[in-house]
Amino acid sequence: MTGKVYLIGAGPGDPDLLTVRALHLLQGADVVVHDRLVSPEIMDLVPAATRRVAVGKAAGCHPVPQDRINRILIDLGASGLVVARLKGGDPGIFGRGGEEAEELTAAGIPWEYVPGITAAQGAAAAAGIPLTHRGLTTGLRYVTGHRAGDAALDLDWASLADPGTTLAVYMGAANMAEISARLMGQGMPADLPVLAVSQATTPRERRLRGTLSGIAALLAENPMPAPVLFIIGHVAALESPAHLPLIPQAACPALAACLP
């Protein structure tokens, strides 16, 4: 009998931001296959007796290759198990959920997406800012700040350089100097507000506020532990007094080398 694989979004970290459906599936699954962005607080909700397979990290901090993850999911599904494939944020936003779904379809394994709150939403809410705001922004774009295999960042900089659109930059910590320079090169104002949020919605959250021209240097002076998300745009200045920036501790560990 064939099982089923649920591609589940775990949200940005706070267990209260899991959907009810995700929680039910986690508690009923035969096996949980989880990646490195799933917070320990969420993993604590998995019943102790449930089998767990960690695919986000292996010895030396190298992620398990995607084709190996696909094989694990197919084999578990083919053996009749209900599999909770748990990913940080939303499985369909920079989460490679689409690739896993394609492989499962090709192997004839039933699967289903269970959406999660993406990091940009979690980080913005934790900082008390909206991602769009009437009169300030007309849109929002989710952008990757990292390319597979450290390939060049060949983004469409001209189209991204719109101060009326909020940019939520994922995986951008290592490339923020280039990203900000490219955007300013296309006319984005140097003083455009930027908010960097590390480990958003977890007890370890840190926030850093700067400008487009200054954010890379600020980050170099105040390293933030991964994962870090950047919100670039006028909305980043709307942070309410109740959510004042949390200045990173001087002793913050350096960005984990293996995380973008």
Rg (CA), the chain: 19
Torsion angle of C-alpha atoms 194, 197, 198, 204, degrees rounded to 10: 140
Which listed residue (31, 83, 170, 236) binds ligand SAM by CB under 6 A?
170
Q: Which two tokens stand for residue 189?
A: 């104002």
Answer yes or no whether residue 200 interacts with ligand SAM by CB under 6 A: yes
For the chain, the first-to-last Cα distance in angstroms comes to: 39
What are the residue numbers of the active site?
Answer: 35, 57, 171
Q: Contact between 129 and ligand SAM (CB under 6 A)?
A: no
Q: Rule CB under 6 A: say whether 115 interacts with ligand SAM.
A: no
Closest distance of CB 14 from ligand SAM, Å: 9
Q: Rule CB under 6 A: say whether 93 interacts with ligand SAM.
A: yes
Q: How many other C-beta atoms can be found within 10 angstroms of the C-beta atom of residue 108?
A: 10
Q: How far is the CB of 81 from ligand SAM (least distance, A)?
A: 24
Distance, in Å, from the CA atom of 95 to the CA atom of 257, rounded to the nearest integer, reads 19
- Minimum distance, C-beta of residue 78 to ligand SAM, in the bound complex (Å): 26
118 binds ligand SAM, rule: CB under 6 A:
yes
Q: Measured between alpha carbons, how far is 17 from 117 in angstroms, rounded to an integer?
A: 7
Pick between residue 74 and residue 123 the one whose CB is nearest to ligand SAM.
Answer: 123
Query: Which residue from 188, 229, 231, 255 is in contact with ligand SAM, where contact means CB under 6 A?
Result: 229
Distance between CA atoms of residues 58 and 65, nearest Å: 10
Least CB distance from residue 249 to ligand SAM, whole Å?
17
- The single residue among 22, 37, 101, 215 that binds ligand SAM, judged by CB under 6 A, is 37
Q: Applying CB under 6 A, does 197 fall inside the site for ligand SAM?
A: yes
Could you tell me which of 96, 104, 42 has the C-alpha nearest to residue 73?
104
Backbone angles phi, psi at 91, to 5 degrees: -65, -20
| 228 near ligand SAM, rule: CB under 6 A | yes
CA angle 98, 126, 84 (to 5 degrees): 35
Which positions lie near ligand SAM, rule CB under 6 A?
12-13, 37, 87-90, 93-95, 118-119, 123, 170-171, 197, 199-201, 227-229, 260
